[in-house]
C-alpha cells in the first residue's frame, strides 16, 4: 500500500477533469446520502424479509390450529348435543306426561275425546324461538279400557304416522290422586333444532375461517408488495451507483467491503497484472484514512498509488466520505477512485514545456512574430514607459498590397511563403529592440521606442519599403511585394495603445488609397476618410441586398461589314443620389469585404435574363460577354451556380461569353483549366480580357479552351505612328491566327486606329468609335 507522502489533500487539491467527478465530488452529499440509505434499505429489507417469513409461518400455524379446533368441535359437539337434546326431550316428555296423567286422573272414567284432546294439546306446543312443534307424535297405552264393556287395554296415538328425525321418550303415567300407574306414554320429540344448531355453528366456524384466511392473505400480499417496492428501490439505487463512472466502494470501520459499483468490479477484473487477492489488498484504503474521515466527519481527498506489473505506479485520486447508519453514527466510509495517471503525466509534461506553451499563446505560428495578444501587452508597457520618461514612440501599421491576388492565383501556400519572407525582411529593416508583430492575415505592426522626432519614423518606413519591395520568386513566379504604411505617434496622436493602433490603421488606409509602396503620418482629418470607407461598405452591402446595380452594354462590330457581332455587359452601381458608379471605384473594396462573388453572380444572372428578354421581343442579340474575376472563377460553386442560372433563365450557353484576365495564368492554372473546360461543356465561350499587359505562356494558351483574345486598349495609343505598338498589334494578330483564336481590339476611338486594324487583318473591334456603354433599351434599337 502506497500513499502520497504529502498526506491528505484538500478537497480542491486536484481539479476535476472527468465527467464522473461531477457525480463523485460535486454531488457528494446526495450520493453519499443515497449510499447510507442503500445500507439502511438493505438492513431493513433483510429484517422485513425475516419478519415476513416468521409472520407467515405463525399465521399459517394459527389457521391450522383454528381448523383443527373446528374439526374437533365438528366431531365432538354432536354427541354432547344429542345427550343434551335427549335430556331436554325427557324433561319435555315428563312435562307432557304430567298433562296426560292429570287428564286421566279422577274418580270418573275419562272419555276417548278427552284423552284425544289432551294429546292434541301436547302436539300444539311449539318452540317459542323458532315456533317449530316440540312434539311430533304421542302414543299412550293404558292399563284399563276406556270404553265401557271393553276388555281390551286402551292404546291410542296422535300426530304424525312416522317421525324419522325424532327422539322417543317413554314416560309412566301416574294417577295423581292415588299414585297408581295408569299406563305408558311414548313422546316423539322434534330433534330438528339440534341439526339447526349444528348447521349454525358450522356456518359461523366457516365464515370465521374464511375471514381469518382473507386477513392473512391480505397481510401477506401487503408485506410482499412493500418488500417488492423496497427491492425495486434498492435496484434503482444500485443502478444509480453503477452509473458513477469512477470505481466506488463502501467499507466498514474494519475495512470490510460492503458495497461496490460496476466500475469497481471492472477495475478488479483489470487488476493490472496482479492476482485478485493482491489487487484487493492494494486497492484497500489505509485504516488511518478511514479513522480520520470518521472522527472528523468530513470528506478527504488524497492520491493513492497502486503498483503495476511493469514497475510503474497507477496513480488514483482517492476520495473518502463518512457513511452513517441513519442515526448520525458513522459506521464506515464511501471511497471513490479515479485514474489520474495520464492527467498527472500530462500535467508534468505541460509544466516541463511551459516555455513552448507560452510561445504558442503569444507567437504567430507561421512567422514566429509576436501575435496580437502579445503585441497589445508590449504596446501598453511601451506607452507606460514613454509616459514616465516623457519620450516619443511611433507605431507603424503595414498592409501588403493586393495580397489576396497572390492567394487566389498561386494558392495559400504561396501566400504563406510570401508572408514569411516579408516577416524576415521587416526584422532586418529595424533595430534589435524594435518590436515587429503580425496581427492577422497580411497585416503587420512595428513599434519604435525612443525616437526623437517624426522624421525618424518616416525614415524607418522608407527603409522598410525599400527592403520589402525587392523581387522574390515563389513557385517560379517573380513577385514584387508592395505595402502601405500608416504611422501614429505618442503622445501626439494618442496616449493609449489602442487609440494609437486605430490611428495608425486609419493612416494606412489613406496610404493605400494614395499609391502602392507609400506611407502616411496620421492626421485627424483622416478619420473622415475612414468613416467614408465604413459608410461605403455599408452602402455596398445594402446595394447587394437590394440589387442596386444595373448593366450597360457596349457593342462589338465586324470591321469590314460594320455588323454588330457581339456585346459586353458593364456593371454600374446605381447609388442613390449619385451618378452611376464604375466598378473601378468599389470593386477592390468589395473584394476586401467578401462581396465580389455575390456581385459577380448578380451580373451573370442579370445578363442571362436580359438575353432572354431581348429574344422574347423578337430580337436576335449576339453573344453577351461578362467579366469574371479570378476569385469568382475559382470559387468552388461557380460552375454549378452558372449552370443553374442558365437553366432557370432558359438561356443557352452559346449566348454567353465569360471574360477573364491573364493574371489567372500566373497562379492555379490546373484548377483554372478544369473550371474553363467545365464551362465549355455548358456551351459558354471563353475570352481573355486586357490581353498583352501581363506575360501569358503560349503553351498554356494552347492548352486552355480560349475562344477569343481582347487586345488591351493601351496598344492602340499613338497609332499609326508608334512602331512598337504596331509590332505588338501585328504579333497578337499572328498569334491568334496560328492558334485559331479570334482577336478583338479594345478601345478603338479614331478612324486612323480603325484603318490600321483593318490593314492588319483585324476582324473585330470595340470602343467609343462604335458606341459608348448604353442601356438595354438603347441597345435594343441597334438589334433591329
Per the model's pLDDT, the better-predicted residue between 437 and 103 turns out to be: 437
The answer to whether residue 499 scores a pLDDT higher than 80 is yes
- Which pLDDT score, from 0 to 100, does residue 697 have? 61
Q: What is the DSSP string of 582-650?
A: PGGGTHHHHHHTT-HHHHHHHHHHHHHHHHHHHHHTT-----EEEE--HHHHTSTTHHHHHHHHHHHTT
DSSP 120-171: HHHHT-B-TTT--BSEEEEEEEESS-SSTT--SPPEEEEE-S--TTEEEEEE
Mean pLDDT of 712-727: 87
Q: State the average pLDDT over residues 452-463.
A: 95
Distance of CA 523 to the CA centre of its chain: 52
pLDDT at residue number 173: 76
Full DSSP string of 641-682 = HHHHHHHHTT--GGGEEEEEEGGGGGS-HHHHHHHHHHHHHT
Contacts of residue 359, Cβ cutoff 8 Å, sequence gap at least 6:
368
Superfamily grouping for domain 247-352:
PAS domain (3.30.450.20)
pLDDT in tens, 334-386: 888 888 888 888 877 777 776 666 667 788 889 999 999 999 999 999 999 99
Does 28 have pLDDT greater than 70? no
Closest by Cα among 381, 366, 379 to 443 = 366
Q: Which of 771, 756, 726, 780 is nearest to 562 (CA)?
A: 771
pTM: 0.48
pLDDT of residue 390: 93
275: pLDDT confidence band, cut at 50, 70 and 90? low
In this structure, are residues 409 and 668 in contact, taking their beta carbons and an 8 Å threshold?
yes
- When pLDDT is cut at 50, 70 and 90, the band that residue 779 belongs to is very high
pLDDT band with cut points at 50, 70 and 90 for residue 18: very low
Residue 103 pLDDT: 65
pLDDT of res. 96:
62
Grade residue 407 by pLDDT with cuts at 50, 70 and 90.
confident
Q: Return d(Cα 123, Cα 137) in angstroms, integer.
A: 7
Q: Is the pLDDT confidence value at 231 over 90?
A: no
The kind and range of the H/E element at 447 are strand 443-451
Q: Are 621 and 649 in contact (CB under 8 A)?
A: no
Mean pLDDT of the chain: 80
Q: Grid coordinates representing 482?
A: 508592395
What is the pLDDT at residue 743?
95
The answer to whether residue 299 scores a pLDDT higher than 80 is yes
Determine the 3-state secondary structure of 146 from DSSP.
coil
Q: 362-524 architecture in CATH? A: 2-Layer Sandwich (3.30)
Q: How confident is the model at residue 253 (pLDDT cuts 50, 70, 90)?
A: confident
17-26, 86-95, 391-400, 684-693 — which is least confidently predicted?
Answer: 17-26
The answer to whether residue 283 scores a pLDDT higher than 50 is yes
Q: Rounded to an integer, what distance in angstroms lies between the CA atom of residue 670 and that of residue 678?
A: 13
Handedness of CA 414, 416, 421, 426 (dihedral sign): positive
pLDDT band at 615 (very low <50, low <70, confident <90, very high): very high
Q: Are 564 and 555 in contact (CB under 8 A)?
A: yes
| pLDDT above 90: residue 77 | no
Asked if residue 612 has pLDDT above 70, the reply is yes
pLDDT of residue 131: 64
Phi and psi torsions of 163, nearest 5° = -110, 105
Q: Among 325-334, 443-452, 477-486, where is mean pLDDT lowest?
A: 325-334
> How many percent of the chain have pLDDT more than 90?
37
pLDDT of residue 26: 40
Fold agreement between 247-352 and 547-782: no
Q: State whether residue 307 is helix, strand or coil.
A: strand
Q: Could you tell me if 395 and 430 are in contact, meaning their C-beta atoms sit under 8 angstroms apart?
A: no
- Between 6-15, 124-133, 222-231, the lowest mean confidence (pLDDT) is in 6-15
pLDDT band at 16 (very low <50, low <70, confident <90, very high): very low
Let me know how long the chain is.
784
**Closest alpha carbon to 159 in 140, 141, 139, 137:** 137
Instruction: Work out whether strand 624-627 and strand 656-661 pair parallel, antiparallel, or are unpaired.
Output: parallel
Question: Is the pLDDT higher at 511 or at 721?
Answer: 511
CB 233, CB 227: distance < 8 Å: no
Q: Is 207 a residue whose pLDDT tops 80? A: no
The confidence score (pLDDT) of residue 307 equals 74
User: Are the C-beta atoms of 242 and 16 separated by less than 8 Å?
Assistant: no
pLDDT tens sequence across 731-771? 999 989 988 999 999 999 999 999 999 999 999 999 999 99
Query: What count of other Cβ atoms lies within 10 Å of the Cβ of residue 295?
Result: 10
pLDDT at 484: 95
| Mean pLDDT in residue range 212-229 | 79
pLDDT tier for residue 34 given thresholds of 50, 70 and 90: very low
The fraction of the chain above a pLDDT of 70, given in percent, is: 76
Choice among 170-184, 500-514, 573-587 with the minimum mean pLDDT: 170-184
Q: Residue ranges per domain, the chain?
A: 247-352, 362-524, 547-782
The phi-psi region of residue 328 (left if phi > 0; otherwise alpha if psi is between -120 and 50; otherwise beta) is left
Average pLDDT over residues 639-651: 95
pLDDT tens sequence across 655-679: 999 999 887 766 667 888 899 999 9
Query: 78 pLDDT exceeds 80?
Result: no
CA distance 135 to 116: 15
pLDDT at position 656, please? 96
CB–CB of 609/649 below 8 Å?
Answer: yes
Task: Cell numbers for 422, please give them.
Answer: 516579408
Over residues 624-634, mean pLDDT: 91
Mean pLDDT along residues 389-405: 92
Q: Does residue 8 contact residue 219 with C-beta atoms inside 8 Å?
A: no
Check pLDDT > 90 for residue 485. Answer: yes
pLDDT for the residue 90? 61
pLDDT tens figures, 142-156: 776 665 555 556 777
Fold of the domain spanning 547-782:
TIM Barrel (3.20.20)
Amino acid at each position: 500500500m502506497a500513499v502520497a507522502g504529502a498526506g491528505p489533500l484538500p478537497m480542491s487539491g486536484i481539479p476535476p477533469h472527468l465527467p464522473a467527478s461531477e457525480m463523485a465530488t460535486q454531488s457528494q452529499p446526495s450520493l453519499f446520502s443515497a449510499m447510507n440509505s442503500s445500507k439502511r434499505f438493505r438492513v431493513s429489507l433483510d429484517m422485513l424479509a425475516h419478519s415476513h417469513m416468521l409472520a407467515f409461518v405463525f399465521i399459517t400455524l394459527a389457521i391450522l390450529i383454528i381448523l383443527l379446533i373446528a374439526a374437533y368441535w365438528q366431531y365432538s359437539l354432536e354427541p354432547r348435543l344429542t345427550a343434551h337434546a335427549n335430556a331436554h326431550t325427557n324433561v319435555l316428555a315428563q312435562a307432557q306426561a304430567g298433562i296426560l296423567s292429570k287428564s286421566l286422573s279422577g274418580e270418573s272414567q275419562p272419555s276417548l275425546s278427552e284423552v284425544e284432546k289432551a294429546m292434541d294439546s301436547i302436539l300444539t306446543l311449539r318452540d317459542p324461538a323458532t315456533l317449530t312443534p316440540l312434539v311430533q307424535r304421542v302414543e299412550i297405552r293404558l292399563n284399563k279400557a276406556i270404553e265401557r264393556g271393553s276388555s281390551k287395554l286402551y292404546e291410542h296415538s296422535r300426530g304424525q304416522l312416522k317421525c324419522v328425525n325424532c327422539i322417543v321418550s317413554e314416560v309412566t303415567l301416574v294417577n295423581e290422586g292415588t299414585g297408581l300407574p295408569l299406563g305408558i306414554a311414548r313422546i316423539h320429540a322434534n330433534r330438528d333444532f339440534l341439526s339447526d344448531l349444528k348447521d349454525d355453528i358450522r356456518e359461523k366456524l366457516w365464515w370465521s375461517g374464511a375471514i381469518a384466511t382473507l386477513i392473512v392473505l391480505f397481510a401477506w400480499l401487503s408485506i410482499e408488495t412493500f418488500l417488492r417496492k423496497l427491492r425495486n428501490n434498492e435496484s434503482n439505487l444500485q443502478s444509480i451507483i453503477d452509473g458513477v463512472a469512477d470505481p466506488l466502494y463502501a467499507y466498514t470501520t474494519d475495512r470490510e467491503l460492503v458495497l461496490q459499483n460496476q466500475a469497481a468490479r471492472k477495475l478488479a477484473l483489470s487488476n493490472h497484472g496482479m492476482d485478485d487477492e493482491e489487487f484487493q489488498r492494494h486497492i484497500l484504503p489505509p485504516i488511518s484514512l478511514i479513522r480520520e474521515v470518521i472522527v472528523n466527519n468530513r470528506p478527504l481527498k488524497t492520491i493513492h498509488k497502486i503498483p503495476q506489473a511493469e514497475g510503474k505506479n497507477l496513480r488514483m485520486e482517492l476520495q473518502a466520505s463518512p457513511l452513517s447508519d441513519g442515526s448520525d453514527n458513522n459506521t464506515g466510509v464511501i471511497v471513490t477512485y479515479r485514474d489520474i495517471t495520464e492527467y498527472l503525466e500530462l500535467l508534468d509534461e505541460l509544466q516541463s514545456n511551459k516555455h513552448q506553451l507560452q510561445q504558442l499563446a503569444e507567437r504567430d505560428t507561421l512567422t514566429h512574430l509576436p501575435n496580437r495578444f502579445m503585441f497589445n501587452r508590449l504596446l501598453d508597457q511601451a506607452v507606460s514607459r514613454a509616459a514616465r520618461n516623457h519620450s516619443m514612440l511611433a507605431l507603424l501599421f503595414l498592409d501588403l498590397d493586393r495580397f489576396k491576388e497572390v492567394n487566389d492565383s498561386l494558392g495559400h501556400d504561396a501566400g504563406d511563403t510570401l508572408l514569411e519572407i516579408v516577416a524576415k525582411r521587416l526584422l532586418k529593416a529595424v533595430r534589435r529592440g524594435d518590436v515587429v508583430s503580425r496581427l492577422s492575415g497580411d497585416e503587420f505592426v512595428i513599434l519604435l521606442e525612443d525616437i526623437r522626432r517624426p522624421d525618424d519614423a518616416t525614415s524607418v518606413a522608407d527603409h522598410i519599403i525599400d527592403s520589402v519591395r525587392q523581387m522574390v520568386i515563389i513557385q517560379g513566379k517573380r513577385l514584387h511585394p508592395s505595402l502601405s504604411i500608416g504611422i501614429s505617434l505618442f503622445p501626439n496622436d494618442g496616449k493609449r495603445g489602442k487609440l494609437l493602433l486605430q490611428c495608425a490603421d486609419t493612416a494606412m488606409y489613406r496610404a493605400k488609397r494614395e499609391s502602392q509602396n507609400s506611407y502616411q503620418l496620421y492626421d485627424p482629418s483622416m478619420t473622415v476618410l475612414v468613416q467614408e470607407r465604413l459608410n461605403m461598405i455599408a452602402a455596398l452591402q445594402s446595394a447587394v441586398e437590394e440589387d442596386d446595380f444595373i448593366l450597360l452594354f457596349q457593342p462589338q462590330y465586324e470591321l469590314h461589314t460594320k455588323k454588330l457581332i457581339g456585346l459586353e455587359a458593364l456593371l454600374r452601381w446605381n447609388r442613390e443620389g449619385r451618378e452611376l458608379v464604375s466598378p473601378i471605384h468599389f470593386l477592390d473594396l468589395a473584394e476586401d469585404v467578401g462581396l465580389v462573388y455575390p456581385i459577380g453572380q448578380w451580373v451573370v444572372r442579370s445578363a442571362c435574363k436580359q438575353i432572354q428578354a431581348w429574344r422574347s421581343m423578337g430580337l436576335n442579340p449576339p453573344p453577351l460577354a461578362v467579366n469574371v474575376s479570378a476569385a469568382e472563377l475559382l470559387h468552388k460553386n461557380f460552375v454549378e451556380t452558372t449552370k443553374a442560372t442558365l437553366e432557370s433563365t432558359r438561356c443557352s450557353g452559346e449566348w454567353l461569353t465569360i471574360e477573364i484576365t491573364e493574371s489567372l495564368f500566373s497562379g492555379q492554372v490546373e484548377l483554372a483549366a478544369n473550371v474553363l473546360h467545365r464551362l465549355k461543356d455548358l456551351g459558354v465561350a471563353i475570352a481573355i480580357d486586357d490581353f498583352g499587359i501581363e506575360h501569358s505562356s503560349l503553351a498554356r494558351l494552347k492548352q486552355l479552351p480560349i475562344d477569343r483574345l481582347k487586345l488591351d486598349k493601351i496598344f492602340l495609343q499613338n497609332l499609326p505612328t508608334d512602331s512598337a505598338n504596331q509590332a505588338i498589334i501585328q504579333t497578337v494578330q499572328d498569334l491568334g491566327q496560328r492558334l485559331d483564336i479570334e482577336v478583338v481590339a479594345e478601345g478603338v476611338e479614331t478612324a486612323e486606329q480603325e484603318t490600321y486594324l483593318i490593314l492588319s487583318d483585324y476582324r473585330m473591334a470595340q470602343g467609343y468609335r462604335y458606341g459608348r456603354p448604353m442601356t438595354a433599351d438603347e441597345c435594343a434599337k441597334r438589334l433591329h
